[in-house]
Amino acid sequence: MKIKNELIILLIIFVFSFSAFPGYSRESKKSEVFGKVVEIDTGNRYINIDNGGEKIAIILKGSTEIKYAGSILNLNDIREGDVIKVKGTYVDRSVMADKIEVISRVQSIPVQKGIIHSITHNATYTLKPGNVLKVTMNASSGGGAYFDITNLAFGIPMKEITSGKYEGTYTVLSGDRVENTTIVGHLVMPDGSQASVKASKTLNIGFSSVEFSTILPKENSVIDNTRPNILIIIQSNSGNKGIVSKTVRLKVNGKDVTSKASISDNVISYVPSNSLPKGLTSVNFTATDINGNQISKEWSFNVQTSGGGDEGNIYSVTHNGQIPLHPGDKLVVTMVGTKGGKGTFDIGSYKKGINMKEDKNNPGVYTGEYAVTKRDSVDNLYIYCYLQLSNKTINKASNEPLVSLGPYYSSYVLQPEIIDPKNGDNVNTPFIIRGNTRREYKVEIKISYVFPIIGVLGTGGELQAKVVMPDDDGYFEHKVNLPVAVSGTKYTIKAVSIDKSGKRSSETIVTVTQK
């Protein structure tokens, strides 16, 4: 009798299994399936179950109901090893779940998950080259930790100095410039769990409250003009809020000439009413910026001439292109020279004859602008300024080239090469993306997908972006495990290289199709 009952049970299971899984048909039908949970992806909201050796993908909708012993659960409550019953629409070895019931639960084994309690840094002022940024993070012990400086540097290692306390440092380099950036800390535990947190306090690097872009005549220079334009221009950028005009004091050879100078938030200009004596002339400038910081500049130059006038000169050419400028940004060029002329500037050989206007309140200071467009894509070009006077035209180049005008990527960062799969290939899921880049780069991979079956899973979606590290030879790979494998699905793979300073390459794009 016992053997007979067991045979009946086996027969029922066999009939149920046969009716629940209609071969490999793509027809949509309501089904009820059982299985043991073997994989959970909370980010992409799917579960893989094992049913008699067959892997079934369970796709969760926003309305999917999950219960265990009458209690409502969420996806995070399901564990690998649980046995579940799923009701929903069955298509191609996957089920769009309407309801999930946990039949039996695997015994819970305590696993140390990564938790970050806090992250702080020591930047209470604008950091300049040579300053050391120190980041401290309190988190679960025994993990690997690193931090990012958004839009500047990524993957900066942190060391666990005591149990659960991690520290890392970054020394500011010449050329580092970010404003109101954030620190993001990351923790990776031995079990593979990860956590990230953003520091609440932002910081500025390379942006000072006041930076002098032009000082004329130049320090320790010898000039042949007894009535030069003594000029101070404060760098114009979004991180610079300028000075308080009424706090300015300007002295030439010890004499206070503030009342005779032209003063604004960014420009201080003074032309002596009488000729300066031959020899050394000293200039002393003091002011307070809008943050209440005291600033000062003292320098001298040597007057060696018997004449008294300015016969025509360009003293300086400066611009705001020390950082990449993108569509919608403006390139601002400032030329300081003889007053009363007509100014223009060229962007290398790319754009020529862009007009400049002389500041009425600061004679001899000429400014011009160029609005960056989507069609622009140039880099490493010098700015050439031209000053047309009544008797001649003179020109001068900028000391530094502009970094780049154009899209949000750098031509100096090489695109990654995707060697497998190739564009147009047919693939089976899961598949592995393999490629090459420079070993010092990181590679960001984004994957979007579009299903061919309208009304079952919608038009498609995008997987969470992944950042992978190449080996010492520059080789990288990334396994793609999608929630459901529907024949004919189109996958678009986009890969970008990122250098140590955070600059990004243009995209490498490969499109493949699910077999």
Q: Where are the domains of the chain?
A: 17-104, 116-205, 210-307, 311-408, 417-514
| Angle 38-40-42 from CA coordinates, rounded to 5° | 175
One-letter amino acid of 138: N
Mean pLDDT is highest, among 284-288, 368-372, 399-403, for 368-372
Q: What is the pLDDT of residues 239-256, one digit of tens each?
A: 455 678 888 999 999 999
- The number of beta carbons lying within 10 Å of the beta carbon of residue 189 is 19
Query: In the structure, what pLDDT confidence band is assigned to residue 19 with cuts at 50, 70 and 90?
Result: very low
Q: What is the pLDDT of residues 389-415, one digit of tens each?
A: 988 888 888 877 776 777 656 666 788
The confidence score (pLDDT) of residue 228 equals 84
Tokens 């993306």 sit on residue: 433
Q: CB of 480 within 8 A of CB of 44?
A: no
Options 2.40.50.140, 3.40.50.720, 2.60.40.10, 3.40.630.30; CATH of 116-205: 2.60.40.10
- Provide the whole-model pTM: 0.37
Residue 351 above 80 pLDDT?
Answer: yes
The confidence score (pLDDT) of residue 239 equals 45
- Token pair for residue 289? 């910026």
Class of domain 210-307: mainly beta
Query: In the structure, what pLDDT confidence band is assigned to residue 318 with cuts at 50, 70 and 90?
Result: confident
User: Is 17-104 CATH 2.60.40.420?
Assistant: no
Within 313-409, where are the H helices?
none
471, containing H or E segment: none
Residues 413, 442: Cα–Cα separation, whole Å: 11
Query: In the structure, what pLDDT confidence band is assigned to residue 356 with cuts at 50, 70 and 90?
Result: very high
> The domain 311-408: what is its CATH number?
2.60.40.10
Q: What is the pLDDT of residues 418-472, one digit of tens each?
A: 999 999 899 888 889 999 998 889 999 988 877 765 444 445 677 777 889 999 8
DSSP type of residue 243: B
| Angle 431-436-438 from CA coordinates, rounded to 5° | 145
The confidence score (pLDDT) of residue 408 equals 58
417-514: CATH topology: Immunoglobulin-like (2.60.40)
Q: Do domains 116-205 and 210-307 have the same CATH topology?
A: yes
DSSP type of residue 414: P
- The number of beta carbons lying within 10 Å of the beta carbon of residue 404 is 23
